[in-house]
Structure 1
Amino acid sequence: MNRTRCDRTPAWGELQTSFNTSGRAFDLRTAFATDAGRFAAFSQSAPYVFADLSKNLIDSTTQQLLLDLARQTGVEQHRDAMFAGERINSTEQRAVMHCLLRTPPADPAMPTQSVHRHMAETLHEVHITLDAMLAYAQTVRADEAITDVVNIGIGGSDLGPQMAVLALDEFAQPGKRFHFVSNVDGHELAAVLKRLKPESTLFLIASKTFTTIETMTNALSAKRWFEAQGGTDIGRHFAALTTNVAAANAFGISTTFGFWDWVGGRYSMWSAIGLPLAIAIGADGFREFLAGAHEMDEHFRTAPLEQNLPVQLGLLDVWYRNFHGFSSRSIAPYHSALRRLPAYLQQLEMESNGKQVDASGDALPFGTSPVLWGEPGTNGQHAYFQMLHQGTDVVPVEFVAIKKPKHSLAGHHDLLLANVLAQAQALMVGKSDTGGHKNFPGNRPSTFLLLDELTPASLGALIALQEHRVFVSGSLWGINSFDQWGVELGKVLAKDIAPRLASGDAAGLDGSTAGLLALLRA
């Protein structure tokens, strides 16, 4: 597999010339006025997701040059290597096979082209674990004595399941409440525990190694609380999502579900880490969630680049970050159930592509991951949209809307949809005011993602779309999107500082850290 970094391709220079010639001054209002077919030309359909890309700062020339860039960097070959189970996570010498977690079981009578022969045994193992996890989820769902499920994890062991459980609340079984504890700050766990009873609570400890300091601190405190409140059956009220079965057993846990080192944390909710979601929406719902993601995988794997939505979004990200110089992107989901989607996407993109060297370790001369941030509409309109419309920085916005609501309250959904359409329109068209204070410059880009309904399948497709989009931009930048060494340094230093808070030993510390240590001990 040959990868060529984007800035080392002919298309990169051609894009720079095109940007300097016409791209910098591109005006969306003029583009729509002169091209009645722009909406159709710059719209894309993928499984469960329709994307209007027409309000982005691109024309057919830019689009073609970006596609040339994708081909010249070897995105297709890199994608195929991932699906073939090659070790594209080069710094950890690991394959990247999270897509296998949502691949249907192999049928000997109908071999699928999407699974290579050498991966067949691994796929079989995946489905053995999946079947066992879903059987356990069904047992918990049928147990009326369990009213509260507490997931204790952090990062990918928290953000994905939490986001998905909230998003699919309309499909959740009544009579079960779900809580997510991630922060090592004891206030979070204490606030949850005071609402629980040990005899009706199930704790899920989600840690691949069963050593993550924040997770294990919270798990031990939950266990102490359980025993102090009269709980006696750890085996019934605790389960572990981990590969370290011995450590879980030593903790007192007998029910464990594992996963593999080729599953990165931020790509893990398709695995046993998704147990909270499986309990919430049931085995059939979870399989629909996986099936929606698999459909998007197949779209990404097989669709020509011109009709490949993850590719188109990834190319837009590179165009904005490296040519327009836009350093952030705002996510605006117009559905309250998607309120944790921005936080989930923050980790997915910023932990994957927040890198300053390429896969060979060479320093990059251009920017990589944008800052992702956002809130659900219409709340965001009354918070930060002022800056989006009239601020000095241009921030591309990604709107996510759902066509059909799950509630029957009259008037609400039409008003919600009117707002999302109006905000996208207002960012583009703007408004002139000679006084300045009411002047909206307009020509501010946005992408509009539309789902017919928010269901397990459509949510699975939406998340897989975002995963592959991050893959594409990372591939163009020539980086390894599947390690996260930047997370480690702070963890190592925290282990050194923790005992110093008790001892007061400041030897070897910098002046600021030593001074703060003294204040915290005073």
Structure 2
Amino acid sequence: MTSLTQLPAWQQLQSLSRNLAGEHMRDWFNQDPGRADRYSLEACGIRLDYSKNLINDQILAGLFDLANERQVGNKRDAMFAGEIVNHTEGRAVLHTALRNFSGKPVMVNGEDVMPEVLATQDKIRNFVERIHSGQHKGYTGKPIKQVVSIGIGGSFLGPKIMFEALKPYWHQAITLHFVANVDGCHIQDVLSGLDHEETLLVMSSKSFTTQETLQNTLTARDWFLKSGGGRQDIARHFICVSSNIQAATEFGIDEENIFPMWDWVGGRYSLWSAIGLPIALGLGYKHYRELLEGAYAMDRHFAEAPMQQNLPVLMALLGIWYVNFFGAQSHVLLPYYHYLRGFPAYVQQLDMESNGKSVAGNAEQVDYSTGPVIWGSEGTNGQHSFHQLIHQGQVLIPADFMLPLNVHNQNEAHHAMLASNCFGQSQALMQGKSYDEAYAELAGKGLSEDKRVSLATHKTMPGNKPSNTLLFGQLDARTLGALVALYEHKVFVQGAIWGVNSFDQWGVELGKVLGNNILAKLQKADADLDFDASTNALISHFRQANPGA
């Protein structure tokens, strides 16, 4: 057994989970009319109803004991203070500094990083204003109307999903496009419909060597040059976010149009840095600033609220409860809002890349589950596909429902129907349908007794399936910032309890290295193949189909 599973709180929670056998949430709600009020919290414009969870006061107390025994509060404070919490890479973790509006310094290795952070925010604001006002023009004098953002991972997902979620706030002067996949079909599709004279390309790569991003940027440069632009014109149409200034200037980018990155910001947290420049270009700096302010508000809540009233802590503990004491292997996110449809994919990277680990910080192999599979889709689409598994499948799948109480240009009939589905699904997961209820529903249907019994059995749903419901007044930039930070801190708390480093990603790095080794063999047809038999055969088939690669 590991140090975590030997803790008194862990042992107590194991006992409490066994004691729930035979208990049903439906009965708890019948016995306690005040359950929903007692098990709800609100902060930063987000209301969390967690009453439809397999919990009671004793279980919650045990979960908070576990957080205390794992020193979650101390680890949180160390992160905010700029201490080295990414121990495998020897780095501080300070995405929170990028949205720090306290006026207080944030120290890393004895140096206050806030002056450079604030200077970068000013640089973003000034550049966005120059684009939107038409002051920055293309090389032929045309104003910039199209922006292509080229990145991968967090440099792609963060800007893309935040921009899509805030569609009602899009700036009318700019059309924003996103490219990530190295599959050439994507960038060709995007560039084919653009006028190079009015297009700005934003390349985001800390090293300026990320394979997918660099290749897409080279393709974009070729397109620009073939369309009529000269090498001297690249500076008017290409900008980048990178720490490799030399590589960027050699590419042709004006040094004034290079925005900085820092090694204390991980890729999946980078939207708060200059990686978020496309968001500011697409929305305007005012809404981009509000996104940061919403995240800052959640930072303050996470840092200051008592554990029992702390939204990220509570959601993290509920996740721990199901993963480690009920064997849940996945967690589904269900945004009932079309513009938030990409949010599950964002949290998927945030959570799975952070906590998908099997070694704790002390290099001890863990003997408990970490990092559930995160997935999901917008409501009500999922109700006609995978909800069936959640309702009647044999696996426990906790769910997070999300709904704005109001939307832009609201159609009352549509929105009421959307909300009714959201609330109805969470209710159905909780209460289910008993065999007796299903049997009674079939009375007078002209069925034989055997058919009625059989059909009632198939229509029975056990219920007792846990879910959270998150409500917010309207999904504006400030609320979205708070929502993203909520999940960031949830992931941090779970990593702190599991004892894993939530801020490295060695599993990602290995695939990159091997992929580069294989690429060299693909591009040199006479190179000896010295991989495993399967990989050698796959390369041979590719070479035969692509003799000119």
Q: Answer yes or no: same fold by TM over 0.5.
A: yes
Cα offset, 1:437, TM superposition: 2.4
Matches within 5 A, 1:353-502: 353-432=355-434, 433=438, 434=453, 435=455, 436-502=457-523
CA–CA distance in structure 2, aligned partners of residues 369 and 430 of structure 1 = 28
Contact 2:107-2:113 within 8 A present in 1 as well? no
CA distance in 2, matches of 1:408, 1:392: 38
* 8 Å contact from structure 2 (residues 132, 173) kept in 1: no
User: Which of 342, 367, 370 is the matching residue for 1:340?
Assistant: 342
Aligned AA for 1:59? N
Which amino acid in 2 is paired with 1:337?
Y
* Count of residue pairs brought into register by the alignment: 512
Distance 1:460 1:495, change over 3 A: same
Give 1:242's aligned residue.
Answer: 242
For the residue of structure 2 that corresponds to 1:6, the secondary structure is coil
2:306 pairs with one of 297, 304, 307: 304
Q: State the secondary structure of the residue aligned to 1:179.
A: strand
In the superposition, relative to structure 1, how do residues 119 and 291 fare at CA in structure 2: closer, same or farther (>3 Å)?
Answer: farther
Q: Does the CA contact (< 8 Å) of 1:24 and 1:324 recur in 2?
A: no
RMSD between aligned residues: 1.6
Q: How far off its partner does 1:70 sit? A: 0.4
State how far apart, in whole Å, the 2-side matches of 1:194 and 1:171 are: 27
Which position in structure 2 is the counterpart of 1:198?
196
User: Which residue of 53, 65, 70 corresponds with 1:56?
Assistant: 53
2:139 paired residue number: none
1:136 to 115, 123, 127: 127
In structure 1, the gaps of 5 or more residues are: 107-111
2:137 aligns with none
Q: What pairs with 1:191-340 in structure 2 (closer than 5 Å)? A: 191-232=189-230, 233-254=233-254, 255-340=257-342
Q: 1:512 aligns with which of 501, 518, 534?
A: 534
1:483: Cα distance to partner? Answer: 0.5
Once residues 293 and 38 of structure 1 are traced to their aligned partners in structure 2, the CA distance between those partners, rounded to angstroms, is 29
Q: CA 1:315/1:142 → structure 2, altered by over 3 Å: closer, same or farther? A: same
Q: Distance in 2 between matches of 1:221 and 1:160?
A: 23
Q: CA deviation at 1:506?
A: 5.0
> Residue 537 of structure 2 aligns to a residue in which SS?
helix
Query: Does the CA-based 8 Å contact 1:205-1:240 persist in structure 2?
Result: yes
- What is the CA–CA distance in structure 2 between the aligned matches of 1:24 and 1:261, rounded to whole Å? 48
1:104 aligned residue: 101
Match of 1:28 among 18, 21, 25: 25
**1:157–1:268 Cα contact (<8 Å) kept:** yes
Question: SS at 1:395's partner residue?
Answer: coil
Match of 2:187 among 186, 189, 205: 189
The Cα of 1:238 is off from its aligned counterpart by: 0.6
Alpha carbons 1:82, 1:97 under 8 Å: kept: yes
- Bigger drift between 264-273 and 32-41 goes to 32-41
Does the aligned pair in 1 maintain the 2:170–2:283 contact within 8 Å? yes
CA shift in 2, pair 1:105/1:129, >3 Å: farther
Which one of 158, 161, 175 corresponds to residue 160 of structure 1? Answer: 158
Whether the 8 Å CA contact 1:389–1:440 is kept in 2: the answer is: yes
Amino acid at match of 1:265: G
Q: 1:119 deviation in Å?
A: 7.1
Aligned to 2:447: none
Q: State the one-letter code of the partner of 1:135.
A: N
Are residues 429 and 504 of structure 1, via their aligned partners in 2, closer, same or farther at CA, if it must alter by over 3 Å? Answer: farther
Q: Does 1:179 align with 2:177?
A: yes
Deviations 1:363-414 (A, max 9, x none): 0000000000011111111221111112221211111110111123341111
Q: Amino acid of the residue matched to residue 123 of structure 2?
A: A
Name the SS of the counterpart of 2:91 in structure 1: coil
Tell me by how many angstroms 1:115 deviates: 4.9
Amino acid at match of 1:40: D
CA drift at 1:23: 2.9
In the alignment, the residues of structure 2 paired with residue 332 and residue 202 of structure 1 have an alpha-carbon distance, to the nearest angstrom, of 35
Q: Is the 8 A contact 1:5 1:477 kept in 2?
A: no
User: Aligned partners of 2:428 and 2:541: how far apart in 1?
Assistant: 50
Q: 1:504 to 1:444 in 2, by over 3 A?
A: farther
If you compute each CA radius of gyration, which structure gives the higher value, 1 or 2? 2
Partners of 1:173 and 1:129 in 2: how far apart?
21
Deviation at 1:315, TM superposition (A): 0.5
Residue 34 (structure 1) shift? 1.3
Equivalent-residue separation in structure 1 for 2:88 and 2:161 (angstroms): 29
Counterpart CA distance in 1 for 2:299 and 2:111 is: 17
Q: Distance in 2 between matches of 1:203 and 1:33?
A: 58
What is the CA–CA distance in structure 1 between the aligned matches of 2:304 and 2:410, rounded to whole Å? Answer: 39
Matches of 1:24 and 1:509 in 2, distance apart?
Answer: 51
Residues 105, 127 of structure 1: 8 Å contact kept: no
2:150–2:178 CA contact under 8 A, matched in 1: yes
Which is worse superposed, 367-376 or 22-31? Answer: 22-31
Secondary structure of 1:411 counterpart: helix
Structure 1 residue 124 and structure 2 residue 121: aligned?
no
Cα distance change of structure 1 residues 119 and 428 upon mapping to structure 2, 3 Å threshold:
farther
Give the Å deviation of 1:63. Answer: 0.2
How far the C-alpha of 1:5 sits from its partner, in A, is 5.3
Give how far 1:132 is off.
0.6
The structure-2 alpha-carbon separation of the partners of 1:504 and 1:497, relative to structure 1 and needing over 3 Å to count, comes to farther
Identity %: 45
Q: Which amino acid aligns with 1:51?
A: L
Q: Is the 8 A contact 2:521 2:529 kept in 1?
A: no
Kindly state the Cα deviation for residue 505 of structure 1 after the two structures are TM-superposed: 3.8
Equivalent in the alignment of 1:87? 84
Q: Higher mean Cα deviation, 133-142 or 88-97? A: 133-142
Q: Could you tell me which residue of structure 1 aligns to residue 446 of structure 2?
A: none
1:12 aligns with 2:18: no
